[in-house]
Amino acid sequence: MAKKKVAFYTMGCKLNYAETSTIARMFSNSYYQHVSFKSYADIYIINSCSVTKKAELEFKYLVRSAMNKNAKSFIIAIGCYAQLNSKKVSSIFGVDLVLGSKEKFKIIDYINNEKLISKKHYPKIISDTEKKDFYFPSFSFGDRTRSFFKIQDGCDYKCSYCVIPMSRGVSRSESMENVLKNIKSLFKKGVKEIVLTGVNIGDYGKIYGKNNRLYTFFDLIQAIDKIEEKGRIRLSSIEPNLLKNEYIEFFSKSKHFVPHFHIPLQSGSNEILRKMRRRYNREIYQEKVKKIQCLIPDAYIGSDVIVGFPGETYKHFLETYNFLKKLEISSLHIFTYSPRPNTRSIIMQEHVSKTIQWKRNKILRNLSQKKYRFFCESQINKKKTVLFENSSVNKEYLYGYTENYIRTKIPINSYNLLLYRNTLQNVLIKEIDKDGVLIVEPINKL
């Protein structure tokens, strides 16, 4: 019997990638053949996101593109959009099965039910919207150079613009034993870098099924740093109020943890931060950045900012701009506020027009480019370690990230191509190319 072709597409965050990779491994048997989402498949599985309206539009586009490749294909929706709007998702032409947060990890059982996986006129929803507070260990392996490793899920915070607590439930974590065991085994299997991910990783410690908090994030990072096996550990993102000074001191002397911090700011105006129900003010944020710069001068600090939040006046925006301009950070992810159903901010008045949102987004993107360029220039003639990627994006160069998260490239020759892929190499940073990628030279000629 011919193998069924199955294709996956992941939208959104690193957590979604870790979960898609885990689900995809369930299809690693003789019945299924993994194919790219760009090609013909019998089954298409889309791991959706619901952080912005744009994400939901992209989901519809992906379903259409799957139907264009195979109108008889069986299309399955999982992820936050499927969990939050199962009925709406099921009404999208082409969708056959909508699985909620819990059911998505039992996908193979549903698929093996022959009767179910024939193109139907009425899609099936299997989603217990209430039951989202369970934990399913996940990590990506084999499909990327770095492994995205889930340590925590859900969130107990109530930021006024955010739907994630509604789609992913309360904060809960992987047991410390499991985290350490799996990290060791990934390093033994040749993974050179692991990215710790979750929804609110700084809140690690509320172990699923246990009422109280068993550990702190500090306990976890100290335990991970004792792991013998070689490899880099990168944090995905951490809330400013949860990045304690003692953590920064610890990271400055750490064996495994790399000097890269992604700390969401969202706004540089304390008034807007209060409306967002964020748990810090800009002074606390500044203190963290200064502490990092003082103890780990070469650290890469990325940040998230939302423009156009309801009530954001030009004065508030200027506060954000001037605050960021002075701050020693390396780059910004700029998001335009997207009103989400059932959030507190959806009922807020004083909406900012699309034109003004667009203008503010553009101004901060320009600022981010300047900051990134300045950071990269400060790295020239420095020695770093690059993890060269498995796959080279073009025939001329091999690409990879330094420990402080700078994108670099090295001219390909037959020698290094074979030997450098998925390896950590000591390099000297030579210059910046026109796209802001740093060209490096190997220090220890192989």
**What's the rounded Cα separation, in Å, for the pair 363 and 338?**
18
DSSP per-residue letters across 107-152 = HHHHHT-TTTTS--SS-EEE--TT--------B--SSSSSEEEE-E
Minimum Å gap between C-beta 399 and ligand SF4 is 30
Residue 49 contacts ligand SF4 per CB under 6 A: no
Minimum Å gap between C-beta 272 and ligand SF4 is 14
Sequence-ordered list of residues with C-beta below 8 angstroms from that of 188, at least 6 positions apart, any chain: 229
9 in helix, strand or coil?
A: strand
Judged by beta carbon, residue 84 or residue 159, the one nearer ligand SF4 is 159
Residue 10 contacts ligand SF4 per CB under 6 A: no
Minimum Å gap between C-beta 155 and ligand SF4 is 3
Minimum Å gap between C-beta 51 and ligand SF4 is 9
Residue 95: closest CA among 129, 128, 46: 46
Residue 15 contacts ligand SF4 per CB under 6 A: no
Q: Could you say which DSSP state residue 353 is in?
A: P
Among 195, 199, 398, 440, binds ligand SF4 (CB under 6 A): 199
**Joined tokens for residue 77:** 């929706």
Residue 15: closest CA among 164, 139, 161, 103: 139
**What's the rounded Cα separation, in Å, for the pair 85 and 82?**
5
Judged by beta carbon, residue 165 or residue 268, the one nearer ligand SF4 is 165
Judged by beta carbon, residue 23 or residue 155, the one nearer ligand SF4 is 155
Minimum Å gap between C-beta 164 and ligand SF4 is 4
Among 48, 152, 167, 200, binds ligand SF4 (CB under 6 A): 200
Minimum Å gap between C-beta 241 and ligand SF4 is 10
Residue 399: closest CA among 417, 381, 372: 417
Judged by beta carbon, residue 128 or residue 156, the one nearer ligand SF4 is 156
Q: Could you say which DSSP state residue 201 is in?
A: G
Minimum Å gap between C-beta 157 and ligand SF4 is 4
Relative to beta strand 397-402, strand 383-388 is: antiparallel
Judged by beta carbon, residue 37 or residue 157, the one nearer ligand SF4 is 157
Judged by beta carbon, residue 74 or residue 309, the one nearer ligand SF4 is 309
Q: Residue 133 class from Cβ within 10 Å (0-12 exposed, 13-18 middle, 19+ buried)?
A: middle
Residue 343 contacts ligand SF4 per CB under 6 A: no
Judged by beta carbon, residue 62 or residue 155, the one nearer ligand SF4 is 155
- Residues in 143-172 that interact with ligand SF4 by CB under 6 A: 155, 157, 159, 162, 164-165
Minimum Å gap between C-beta 200 and ligand SF4 is 5
Residue 302 contacts ligand SF4 per CB under 6 A: no
Judged by beta carbon, residue 56 or residue 203, the one nearer ligand SF4 is 203
Sequence-ordered list of residues with C-beta below 8 angstroms from that of 305, at least 6 positions apart, any chain: 265, 266, 267, 268, 320, 324, 332, 333, 334, 335, 364
Minimum Å gap between C-beta 344 and ligand SF4 is 11
- Residues in 236-265 that interact with ligand SF4 by CB under 6 A: 239
Strand stretches in 308-435, DSSP E: 331-336, 383-388, 397-402, 407-411, 424-432
313 in helix, strand or coil?
A: coil
Residue type for 389, please? E
Question: Which residues lie near ligand SF4 (CB under 6 A)?
Answer: 155, 157, 159, 162, 164-165, 199-200, 239
